[in-house]
């Protein structure tokens, strides 16, 4: 077979190029260059992939307007937010008498601001029911201290009444309307109570009423009605929270019928022993008779 001179030249040139290429790849410089090229290519591919992923994850260029859910119930708010491609997260609960129970009092981000779809809206819920707060012992403390204590517990001072007392500005009684309240009585959070506060003694003479058989709160109310207050009160046995409301008065000093200056005090003793109270009452009635 006859091979032209031109074809022989082409084969020779191609063989020379391949030989030089092989020598280049086998050299150190060639090895480094190839690896750098591969690394650059990988970085470019990763950059493109990450950019596309972030664009999808952050929903680049897409935003929704956050609706107002304040004042809504949890169920209503969840429905509204779902319709705006958002969801709700409850972060706290509180009590406010300015918002209906069981509704949202605060939201973050605020209404009409913008956010990406599928983002949370954080809310603070108003309690579904009001907390029941036990009434603290406030008798014989100052009005200012009593008011601060009630406020810190979530209660309020409503009406303030004044009665003659040896201890001006001290709390003589705590009432709900006209009803004296026992220490420990549970009141709904936000409730108002009436405080009876002492003022300087009057100048009229009053008669001590009968207190035997009454509870401590009943005796306070009875004495305040005639312008007197309770002085010291003692229990024949140390009371517990469970037995406190069972105690009744079995002894008082001065006794019923004594004359005192308005604003004076009457000392009492209390017991859970009904027989003891009846016996003491009978003895005092006999002493009056004779």
Instruction: Read off the pTM.
Output: 0.54
Domain boundary residue, one of 200, 217, 243: 200
Is 142 found in the same domain as 91? no
CATH number at residue 120: 3.30.10.20
pLDDT digits (tens, 9 = 90+) for 169-203: 899 999 998 888 988 999 998 899 999 998 887 77
Indicate if 214 and 284 belong to the same structural domain. Answer: yes
Task: Encode pLDDT of 202-232 as tens digits.
Answer: 778 999 999 999 999 899 889 998 989 898 8
21 in a domain, yes or no? Answer: no
Query: What is the secondary structure of 36-95 as a DSSP string?
Result: HHHHHHHHHHHHHHHHHHHHHHTTTT--EEPPP-TT-BHHHHHHHHHHTT-EEEEEEEE-
Q: What is the pLDDT of residues 118-172, one digit of tens each?
A: 999 999 999 888 889 999 999 889 999 999 999 999 999 999 998 888 888 899 9
Question: Which of 235, 231, 206 lies closest to 220 in space, CA to CA?
Answer: 231
Q: For residue 86, what are the domain limits?
A: 64-126
Total number of domains in the chain = 3
């Amino acid at each position: 077979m006859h091979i032209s001179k031109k074809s022989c030249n082409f084969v020779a040139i191609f063989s020379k190029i391949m030989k030089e290429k092989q020598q280049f790849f086998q050299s150190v410089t060639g090895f480094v260059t190839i690896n750098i090229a591969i690394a650059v290519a990988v970085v470019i591919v990763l950059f493109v992939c990450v950019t596309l992923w972030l664009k999808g994850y952050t929903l680049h260029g897409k935003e929704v307007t956050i609706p107002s859910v304040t004042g809504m119930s949890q169920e209503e708010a969840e429905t509204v937010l779902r319709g705006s491609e958002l969801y709700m997260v409850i972060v706290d609960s509180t009590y406010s008498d300015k918002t209906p129970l069981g509704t949202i009092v605060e939201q973050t981000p605020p209404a009409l601001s913008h956010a990406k779809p599928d983002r949370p809206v954080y809310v603070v819920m108003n309690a579904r029911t009001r907390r029941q707060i036990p009434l603290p012992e406030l008798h014989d403390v100052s009005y200012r201290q009593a008011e601060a204590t009630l406020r810190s517990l979530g209660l309020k001072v409503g009406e303030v009444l004044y009665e003659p007392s040896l201890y001006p500005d001290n709390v003589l009684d705590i009432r709900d309307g006209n009803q004296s309240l026992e220490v420990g009585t549970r009141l709904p959070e936000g409730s108002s109570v009436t405080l009876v506060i002492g003022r300087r003694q009057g100048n009229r003479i009053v008669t001590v009423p009968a207190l035997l058989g009454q509870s401590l709160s009943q005796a306070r109310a009875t004495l305040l009605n005639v312008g007197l207050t309770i002085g010291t009160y003692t229990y024949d046995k140390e009371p517990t929270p469970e037995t406190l409301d069972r105690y009744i008065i079995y002894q008082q000093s001065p006794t019923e019928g004594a004359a005192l200056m308005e604003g004076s005090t009457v000392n009492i003793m209390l017991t859970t022993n009904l027989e003891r109270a009846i016996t003491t009452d009978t003895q005092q009635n006999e002493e009056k008779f004779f």
